[in-house]
Every structure is written in C-alpha cells, then in structure tokens.
C-alpha cells in the first residue's frame, strides 16, 4: 500500500487526499493546528485516512505533498523530510506571501526554494497549475482522447517517475518539464497556468511561456 503524506489540509491537500483515496492509496494528513483540528475532515475522508502532526505525515508518506502558503515553507522542520519524495504544489502570490526577492528577480523558482530548504528531500513540482477542485472533476482514465495533462519537474528522475505514476493513477497524463529550474514555465500568469490542456496543448503552453521580466 502506498501512503500519501499531506502537509496542508486545505484546498489542494484535501483534494489530492480525496483523489488518492479514490484510487486505493492511504493518506496521512496534517495542518498547522494539529490532528485534533482534522477530526471532521478525516471522518469525511473515511477509514483509509488518518490525521497526524506534520512530522507524522512526512514520516508515513511514500510520497509527501506540500500544499501550504509558500511563505510558510520556511517553518517546516527539514529533518523528517530526509530521503523523502516531496511533491511541491505551492505558488508565489506576493499579496499572500510577501515579497521574496529571489523570486521577484527570477534568480530562482518556488520549487528550488523548497528544495533548498529541504536539501535531503527529492522535490518534484506538480499540481501547482490545476484548480484544486478540478483534481477530482477533470480526472479521466488513461487512454481517453483529450485527457488532461499535468506537469512534473524535478532534479531526481526516479522521484519524478514515481510522482508521474501517481498522477497517472489518479487521472491525468504527465508532461516532464525537466529540471526544477524549468518550473517557472508553469508558474502564475503563464499560458498553461490553471488551464485545461491535453498533453500536446500543455507542451505548447510551456514552450510559449515567458519570464515575468519579458511579459
């Protein structure tokens, strides 16, 4: 049984949890307020779900999703993430996250920031460009024409392959963007961001993406 550990139980965390449960995974879900605050959600998710501390969710997860406001990634304790495959769904919204100079000057990307904070994890960017509810509403079985595609980006190919297999299992084709440093191609305000695209459409969108400085 593959366990998905979830750091963040909001829109994205709970949607990925539901998708994973629908496809036979177990989930351990966490938030900033502790497992007691998740009793209602876990009751709703069913017997294959349990609540834990963030450390519990990270330790239990074969794959660990981080889905929290970007500014809060710096509060995560890196220790339990050692050796873990970490899916990063986060986006940069300065109104919410404050100004982050290294993102403003585009000298790095959001997922590279998470990788730098969790140096012993294998970070894979995914799920940042789909509206949370659409993880359930637009999923389709493999092989259907026009099946929606989602990206993966990462510096560890084996980790990326495992995340790609998970994304395929819950209902989407997968486009490999390359290294984490390519993640800007699907960041906020790029052509593919939040758009429903099949594999060919998403490939065209990421190829057409421009840096903020060039928009």
Ligand X SMILES: NC(=O)c1ccc[n+]([C@@H]2O[C@H](COP(=O)([O-])OP(=O)(O)OC[C@H]3O[C@@H](n4cnc5c(N)ncnc54)[C@H](OP(=O)(O)O)[C@@H]3O)[C@@H](O)[C@H]2O)c1
Using the minimum distance from each CB to ligand X, give the nearer residue, 22 or 74: 74
Residue with tokens 């459409």: 201
Question: Cβ of residue 75: shortest distance to ligand X, in angstroms?
Answer: 4
In angstroms, the Cα distances linking 29 to 38, 117, 123, 190 are: 8, 21, 19, 30
Using the minimum distance from each CB to ligand X, give the nearer residue, 98 or 157: 98
Using the minimum distance from each CB to ligand X, give the nearer residue, 41 or 169: 41
Question: Cβ of residue 136: shortest distance to ligand X, in angstroms?
Answer: 12
Which positions touch ligand X (CB under 6 A)? 7-13, 30-33, 54, 67-70, 72, 75, 89-91, 128, 131-132
- Give dist(CA 64, CA 118) in Å, integer: 12
Residue partners of 186: CB distance under 8 A and separation at least 6: 125, 128, 129, 151, 153, 177, 192, 193, 205, 206, 209
Question: Cβ of residue 55: shortest distance to ligand X, in angstroms?
Answer: 10
Using the minimum distance from each CB to ligand X, give the nearer residue, 44 or 157: 44
Run of H or E including 19: helix 11-22
């Amino acid at each position: 049984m593959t366990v998905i550990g979830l750091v963040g139980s909001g829109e994205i965390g709970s949607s990925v949890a539901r998708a994973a449960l629908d496809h036979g995974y177990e989930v351990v879900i966490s938030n900033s307020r502790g497992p007691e605050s998740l009793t209602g959600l876990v009751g709703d998710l069913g017997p294959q779900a349990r609540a834990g501390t963030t450390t519990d969710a990270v330790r239990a997860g074969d794959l660990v999703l981080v889905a929290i406001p970007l500014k809060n990634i710096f509060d995560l304790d890196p220790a339990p993430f050692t050796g873990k495959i970490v899916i990063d769904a986060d986006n940069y919204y300065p109104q919410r996250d404050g100004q982050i100079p290294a993102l403003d000057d585009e000298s790095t990307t959001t997922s590279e920031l998470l990788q730098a904070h969790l140096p012993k994890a294998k970070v894979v960017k995914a799920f940042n460009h789909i509206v949370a509810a659409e993880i359930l509403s637009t999923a389709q079985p493999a092989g259907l024409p026009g099946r929606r595609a989602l990206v993966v980006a990462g510096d560890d190919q084996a980790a990326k392959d495992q995340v790609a297999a998970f994304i395929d299992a819950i209902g989407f084709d997968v486009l490999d963007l390359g290294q984490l440093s390519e993640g800007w191609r699907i960041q906020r305000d790029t052509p593919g961001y939040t758009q429903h695209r099949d594999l060919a459409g998403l490939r065209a969108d990421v190829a057409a993406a421009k840096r903020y400085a060039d928009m």
